[in-house]
Every structure is written in structure tokens, then in C-alpha cells.
Amino acid sequence: MFFTSQLIGEPIALLSCGIYAGSAKLKHVSRVLPPEECAEPDYMSDTERCKAGNKKCSSLLEQAESPALAVMECDICCTEPKFCRDCCCILCCKSVNSSCAGYDYIRCEALMHDGSICGHAAHIDCALRCYMAGTVGGSIGLDSEYYCRRCDEKTDLVSHFTRLLLACESLDSRDDVEKILNFGICILCGSQKTSAKDLLKRIEVAIEKLKCGTNLEDIWKEGDNFSTISIDVSHHGDTVMELTGFQEPLDVRGSQFYYRTEAQKLEEEIDQVLHALRRSQETEFKMAEECLNAQKNYLCNLYQQLEKEKSDLVQHASTDSDALLSTVMSRVKQIKSEVKKLKDMEEVANGFGKTSRAVLKEHFSLAIED
């Protein structure tokens, strides 16, 4: 797997049960970091709404705009002091950053049975390092998705990241754009979804342009514009995208080298080799099956002829016995020769590569070059 982020270096502080191992569902948050260990939000009076005392809490910013969507009742993490569902990461308890389109976190908006939403947030980097985001095998079964530790629901990250890229076009900071694209590499790498693979190629192109010093406005030019992406989120959360453009090769001599992308290319290359090997083995098997069955049928016919000729030898007069005996002896000799031939052909049981060239050439019509 290639999802250990290089973007944020601090360890995850709130994983008392360890990394998600596959079958266990981690729901209980055992402790919350004391204020001095958390990120440094601007603290406010206890009379304000945010439990974490964060002046930049999204709940405060949304008060003047519109009432928030109803969220599920939570008697686990949300009962902990200094933990705010609106602005704290459920995995590390540090504040999430709502600036730059909130690219560094994901909020679970899974619909509950009572019509409310989960509403818990997590840093994408934390989720990647806990194997709760990206593409993860095993029983959890993620494919460019996010798994919410609180409600056990999955969120499609292809459509989520596509929306981030659309917002990314309006940014004027190269660092912010690069961080968003780097997150895209971590999220989409290894996905089997066609939409994710196509989007990953587009991100690689954009990263190459940044490395070459291309102006930000030129990165999103017509023909390479993420605004032309057509989004259609299906019932399963997959995203269908129509992408046009090109894919430039990565420059390993450049200032940045994305090993996850190279690892994906190697994985695809090995898959192609194994697929070709399977096809060649199937071809060899089919050839061996046809030749061996043909030899078997030929031998069966010879045995039938021998049986008839022996019967004729017994029934005919003594004057014809010499000719019939000669025919029987000749048939027996022929059968012995064909049985030996079949035994030689059975060498292919060890594989064509371990079968002598003479046998392959004579009995399977395969000429092996030196």
C-alpha cells in the first residue's frame, strides 16, 4: 500500500485501539489531547459555542449563513471535553483547517436512519496513515474511499477530490495548489476505478506543469481544465469523468519524485506481464491437449485394428495364417512405436520450457530458436 502521507509529520495521538486491522470496528475514542498538545486555535470564552474554544470553528462561521444540517446524536467522542465535532479531527483531535476549500480534511455526511448525518471530520492525512482512506484491501475494502471510524460508513473520495480541484482553480498560491495535488496522489493511487485512474493522470500533468514553473492560470487552460470534468455520482459513489488531455512522463531528475505514481506504473506493468503469461500458458495447454488427445485416439484405433486382425487370424484357414500373422506382428510393432511417442509427448507435464526441443519440434510442431 502507498498511503503513508509525507505531508504531515506528527504522529496520530488518539488511536488507543491501534491501526484498523480489518475486522474490528474502532468506535471508541478513549481520550482527547489536552489543550496544550492540540493545534493552536484561537481560544474564546467558555460561553461560545465551540467546545474546543476555536474562533475559526466552522460552526461559528456558519451561524450567520444558514443553520447546519441535523447531525446524529453522539455519546462517545462528542461527550469528551474540548472535543468539537465541527472542527476537531476524530482521529487526532486537532483542529481541521477550513481554508483553501478545506482540502486537508473530509467530513462524513453519511445519512443515518433518522435522517440526520454523521458530521464527524478527520484529517485526510490521519485517515491515510490509519488505512482508513485511499485504496485498502482486506475486509475493510476501500477503493479511493474514506471509512468513518464513528459511523462505519464509506465516502467516495473521487467525487470529493474532484470538487476540491474545481475550487483549486481559483487559488493563487502555488504551495496550496501543490498540497492539494499531493493529497490527490495519495488518495487516488492504486485505485481500480476508471474515474480515479483518469483523474490521477490529470493530477500528474498538473504537477509536472508546476514543476516546470508554469503559471497557475495556465495549468487550468482549456484542454487541461478540470472544469470540463463531468461528474455523475452513482448509487455506489463512483464518479464517471470525461477527461481530455495528455499525460506527461514524470521527470525523476526533477525536484520532486512521486514514488507512489511509479509504484502504480510498476504494478500495472507486472499485471500486464502476468496476464500475457497466463494467455501463453493457456495457449500451450490447449496445444498440448489437442496433440495428446489426437495421439490417444490414434492409439485406440490401432488397438481396435489389432483386435480385429487377431480375430481374423484365429478364424481363417491355415493357408492364410502366415500373411495374417505378419499383419498382426506389424501392427504390434506399430503400436509399440506410437506408445513410445505418447510417452515422449507426456514430458510436457513439466511445462513446455522443461520439454526437450526435439520432442516439441517433432510432436508439437514447435521450433525453438537458440
Give pLDDT tens digits for 93-110. Answer: 888 887 766 778 899 988
- Given a contact cutoff of 8 angstroms between Cβ atoms, the answer to whether 193 and 162 are in contact is no
Gap between the Cα atoms of 143 and 87, Å rounded = 26
Q: 40-78: per-residue pLDDT in tens?
A: 444 444 435 788 787 778 777 655 444 456 888 888 888
Task: Decide if pLDDT at 293 tops 90.
Answer: yes
| Most confident among 54-63, 205-214, 221-230, 297-306 (mean pLDDT) | 297-306
* pLDDT given for residue 264 in this prediction: 66
Task: Write phi, then psi, for 173 (nearest 5 degrees).
Answer: -110, 120
- Is pLDDT larger for residue 168 or for residue 305? 305
Task: Decide if pLDDT at 236 tops 80.
Answer: no
User: Coil, helix or strand for 233?
Assistant: strand
Task: Write phi, then psi, for 150 (nearest 5 degrees).
Answer: -85, -45
* pLDDT given for residue 292 in this prediction: 92
Look at the alpha carbons of 101, 260, 265, 137 in this order and tell me if their dihedral is positive or negative: negative
What mean pLDDT do residues 281-297 have? Answer: 90
Q: 153-200: per-residue pLDDT in tens?
A: 999 999 888 888 888 888 888 888 888 888 888 888 888 899 999 888
Other CB atoms closer than 10 Å to residue 341's CB: what's the count? 16
Q: pTM score, two decimals?
A: 0.49
Q: Which of 42-51, 223-232, 290-299 has the lowest mean pLDDT?
A: 223-232
* Single-letter amino acid, residue 314: V
Task: Decide if pLDDT at 138 tops 80.
Answer: no
Share of the chain above pLDDT 70, in %: 70
**What is the rounded end-to-end Cα distance, in angstroms, of the chain?**
41
Q: 81-96: per-residue pLDDT in tens?
A: 888 888 899 998 888 8
Helices (H), the chain: 58-63, 124-129, 157-168, 174-188, 194-211, 216-219, 259-315, 321-345, 357-364
Gap between the Cα atoms of 120 and 133, Å rounded = 15
User: Coil, helix or strand for 143?
Assistant: strand
Gap between the Cα atoms of 87 and 46, Å rounded = 16
Return the domain boundaries, the chain: 101-266, 277-364
Q: Which of 40-44, 91-95, 116-120, 329-333 has the lowest mean pLDDT?
A: 40-44
Q: Which of 229-233, 258-262, 301-305, 324-328 has the lowest mean pLDDT?
A: 229-233
Residue 146 pairs in a beta bridge with 133, 155
* pLDDT, the chain, mean: 74
- Is pLDDT larger for residue 50 or for residue 252? 50
Share of the chain above pLDDT 90, in %: 15
* pLDDT given for residue 14 in this prediction: 38
Q: Which of left, alpha, beta for 217 (phi over 0: left; psi -120 to 50: alpha)? A: alpha
- Is pLDDT larger for residue 152 or for residue 246? 152
- Given a contact cutoff of 8 angstroms between Cβ atoms, the answer to whether 72 and 114 are in contact is yes
